[in-house]
A and B are shown apart, each in its own frame.
Chain A
Amino acid sequence: MKHPTFAVVGHPNKGKSSIVSSLSLDDSIAISNTPGTTHTKRSFPLKVDGVIIYELFDTPGFQRARAVLAWLEMHAVSADKKHTVVEAFVQQHKDDPKFHDEIELLEPILEGAGIIYVVDASKPYSSEYEAEMEILRWCNQPSMALINHIEEDDFTQEWKRALGHYFKLIRTYNPMQATYKEHISILESMAHLNEEWTQSIQDSIALFEKHHQQMLQECSSVIVDLIYSTLHLKLKLPIKTDHATQEEELKLQEEYKTKIRQLETKSYKRIADILHHNRLDKEIFDLGFEEIDLFSKESASIFGLSKKELLITTTSSGALTGAGVDLLFAGHTGFLGAAIGGIVGGIGGYFGFEELFKTEILGKKLGEKYLQIGPMQNRNFPYILLGRSLFYAKKLLNYSHAKRDTLTIDKTEENRLNILSDKERQQLEKYHKLMRSKKELDAAKLHEYEQLILKKLTNDQ
């Protein structure tokens, strides 16, 4: 059985390409205000291991609908043969540049594609659309209407009344704001257009969900790599004397910052690739981060933990470790372990809040003196980095592939982006502590940390 196909058709500039872009997670489609941006039909297949499950066609808009309808009506036949007249029209005008756009959009329909007729309900209904809908009715293919809202005005009701005469299924879908659930919901509607397609589309929905989960998993993995490689990063600078000069220290600190910034940018590019935001070049990677440098106080206040939160996190994490010792002695320590652990953790958190770098001179005894920076000791930094990464990933996850503008960050304190619960922070702190140590963290531990990030990403969607 041939896979289901759908042709997204309509008047020019009603958001057909945006809808295809959103449904196919492809941000490479040219979308603009200029009418007739889409010049030829273009296929967007959902492929699984090379096998097409369903196929979407982005098509040019109707340009001469009344002329086409006039031709069809001149060759009027009984209702059961109307589609043959449309076929005859396509056959006869295949090489006629005048009807190039109509031929492009009708061809997939005549080959069996379901019709998704797109209208913009932010513009009033007009009778000029009737010729288009009438042509589609002649094609006698399963069809649905999709109401898009390009601008703020709302003429949905008049559109629904008009579309109701031509389509049994009318759905609203704004590709610019559509969530993953709305995307799936549209696919479910498409599944009902034709009984024969139901299974394939339902399979596609399951695959989309799997694909979505895969993307979340990969994003989590990238974030974990970033946090681990950053916290674990060590840089060395050979020095000649026993004491490093201020210049040398600053040089090493700057190198260290640059290296971390590079790691962050590289990770964000990777996340954008995973989420199929390939078009998003420099502007999206900056994402407003250009103004909020990773090492700035602003970044710490937006993405990191407050001093109080950090204190609670490190204290409770330390206490938990100490409690482990108490448990080992079956509580005979009078929970002194938990108390000491809490105090030590709290002190670490308090003093490790501001201090970003710790440089030390090594190799003195061996005669090869060098200045070393890292691993990162600042307790807040992993939360800043994690906060930024989660923000970036979550923004992109919900960023429509149809959008062509840039993202912005709400910098206000009220809209802090990390929103980690006490429990989450406590769980994360355990791993941050291990990452800060000079030892390599084994893959099993990294996997556990990744699962926490994945859970956070999945829950926050």
Chain B
Amino acid sequence: MNLQSYYKIKEFLEQERATKEEHRAFALKHKITSLPKYKQLLFWFEKHTPNTIFTYSYSSTAKNILLIIAFVLGFLSAITLLSYSGDKPVNIIYFFALAVVLPLISMFLSLLALLWPKHLTPLFLTTWLEKLIAKISEKSHRTIAFDTTLQASYSLFLVQFSSLLFSIGLLIGFFLTILTHDIAFGWSTTLQISAKAFYEFLHTLSFAFTEFCPQSVISLELVEKSHYFRLGQSISAEMQNNAALFGEWWKFLACSTLFYAIFLRLIFLFVAYNKFQKSLKQSLLHLPKAQQLLEDMNEPIITTQSQEDEVVYKKPTGDVANTKKQEKSYSTLLGWTFTDEELLLTIDALQLEAKEHFSLGGAKTLQEDTQTITKLQKNTLLLVKAWEIPTMEFIDILQEIAHHSDHVTLSLLGYAKNAYKANKKDITVWEEKIAAQNLKNVSIKL
């Protein structure tokens, strides 16, 4: 996984138009839902992009130039710092500072940056270099800004990489110089440091390679003898007498560079690379549309809606006569779905008069209803509970009643607690239903 693929995935996601169903079908077909999320994204990307032409690109030229510069700089630093004319020893402190002290400081900063990447990576030159490159790239070709976490971890990785190359350049330069020159090393500083103290310091630093390369450990004698003071154009006679000894320093310098500048840096590079890879994967998941794609692939498609078209009910039309007139008496009074007790109570409450009264529907059988209907003659009053809408069964009965009576008056009743007054909504339902039957001798009493 690298930045180039990150760019490509981002671009491809922007162009992606597949539906949720297609995403889910893809995940199920390839059985990828158990894979880590970033692997799912990569798999999806690989399967979809063989013929895609990408316009975004990450310019690695700048990065490569930076790395080459670092290497060359390291190489030239070694050559320059070790340049030896023979009239004075080469002060190891310069080289030591570049090969050990500077890497240690930089590694300490890197350690802090690993812990707080967003806050400390702006301290690194690489961060600004990346920003500059991105700015320049915007004008020349399409590019994408990283998110801050990725940018921080990438900068940190670049710092480690370029530092490593710098140190390698330094070491190569060092070897080339000592190979081609007979150099007398010495040490000199304005600070009042005794040879013993300096020796102890160097001895402590040698702990890392004492076991592997005992010859590289500096002796107190060498430290003492190679300590020089420059006064005017000359150096001490003792130094000149021991000049042959001073070449011994190279082993210590080489081992120090190898351990502090290269070995430790390799560890940092490894950690930074892993962090960068982790950020890359994390950023991949945070790319616009990536989360949606992953959700589509991993979440089952749940549907609850009907796939069938609904048959739309067409309201029948027709006319029905309404009357407000209350007949004094009816030849027959019928109660639809009334019990006998309910019917008697209602007749009494409404003070209705009829020669005879029957209840229909409800607990009565169809046969009983038919027997009742055949007895009907002149005008019939049919009481119905308006809150119960008319079923086709009622319509069948109504048609039979209409057939056997001269006239049928339908009385729509509400609840007793409402003085049997039906509500408007129910009346409308009944009116529409009855009107649709076009029964000429049926009217509704309001």
Instruction: State yes or no: do A and B come from one complex.
Output: yes
**Interface members, chain A 207-222 (any B CB < 8 Å):** 207-208, 210-211, 214, 217, 221
- Please classify the interface of chain B as helix (H, G, I), strand (E, B), loop, or mixed, using the class held by over half of its residues: loop
**Cross-chain contact B362 with A127 (CB below 8 angstroms):** yes
Interface membership of A34, Cβ < 8 A: yes
B299: nearest chain-A partner, CB-CB: A214
Interface residue tally for chain B (C-beta within 8 Å): 52
Contact with B along A32-68 (1 / 0, CB 8 A): 0111111110111111111000000010011111110
**Cross-chain contact A64 with B313 (CB below 8 angstroms):** no
**Cross-chain contact B286 with A128 (CB below 8 angstroms):** no
Stretch at the interface among A82-90, A253-261, A357-365, A437-445: A437-445
**Cross-chain contact A63 with B391 (CB below 8 angstroms):** yes
Residues of chain A contacted by B389 (CB below 8 angstroms): 12-13, 35
A13: nearest chain-B partner, CB-CB: B389
**Cross-chain contact A63 with B337 (CB below 8 angstroms):** no
Q: Which listed residue, B149, B291, B313, B433, touches A37 by the CB 8 Å rule?
A: B313
Contact with A along B390-404 (1 / 0, CB 8 A): 111100100000000
A440: nearest chain-B partner, CB-CB: B145
**Cross-chain contact A47 with B425 (CB below 8 angstroms):** no
**Cross-chain contact B391 with A62 (CB below 8 angstroms):** yes
Residues of chain A contacted by B362 (CB below 8 angstroms): 126-128
**A50 CA / B24 CA spacing, docked (Å):** 11
A26 in contact with B391 given A49-B24, A126-B362, A214-B299 (CB within 8 Å):
no
**Cross-chain contact B387 with A42 (CB below 8 angstroms):** no
Interface membership of B115, Cβ < 8 A: no
Interface residue tally for chain A (C-beta within 8 Å): 58
**Cross-chain contact A35 with B429 (CB below 8 angstroms):** yes
- B426: min CB distance to chain A, Å: 9
**Interface members, chain A 3-36 (any B CB < 8 Å):** 11-13, 23-26, 28-30, 33-36
Q: Which listed residue, A62, A66, A123, A214, touches B361 by the CB 8 Å rule?
A: A66
**Interface members, chain A 437-461 (any B CB < 8 Å):** 440, 442-444, 447
- A322: min CB distance to chain B, Å: 16
Interface membership of A130, Cβ < 8 A: yes
**Cross-chain contact A47 with B302 (CB below 8 angstroms):** yes
- A161: min CB distance to chain B, Å: 16
Contact with A along B266-305 (1 / 0, CB 8 A): 0000000000000000110011100110010001111111
B292: nearest chain-A partner, CB-CB: A221
**Cross-chain contact A123 with B339 (CB below 8 angstroms):** no
B309: nearest chain-A partner, CB-CB: A42
Interface membership of B148, Cβ < 8 A: yes
**Cross-chain contact B365 with A447 (CB below 8 angstroms):** no
**A386 CA / B428 CA spacing, docked (Å):** 44
- A301: min CB distance to chain B, Å: 35
A35 in contact with B339 given A25-B304, A444-B286 (CB within 8 Å):
no
Q: Which listed residue, B145, B302, B433, touches A48 by the CB 8 Å rule?
A: B302
Q: Which 5 A-B pairs have the closest CB atoms?
A: A443-B286, A442-B147, A63-B392, A127-B362, A35-B389
The residues of B with any CB-CB pair to A shorter than 8 Å are 24, 28, 145, 147-149, 282-283, 286-288, 291-292, 295, 299-308, 310-313, 315, 337, 339, 361-363, 365-367, 385, 387-393, 396, 415, 425, 428-429, 432-433
Could you list 26 examples of A-B contacts with CB < 8 Å?
Answer: A11-B391, A25-B305, A26-B304, A26-B305, A28-B305, A28-B306, A34-B315, A40-B311, A45-B303, A47-B302, A48-B300, A49-B24, A61-B391, A62-B391, A64-B396, A70-B365, A123-B387, A128-B337, A130-B363, A207-B302, A276-B305, A442-B147, A443-B283, A443-B287, A444-B282, A444-B286
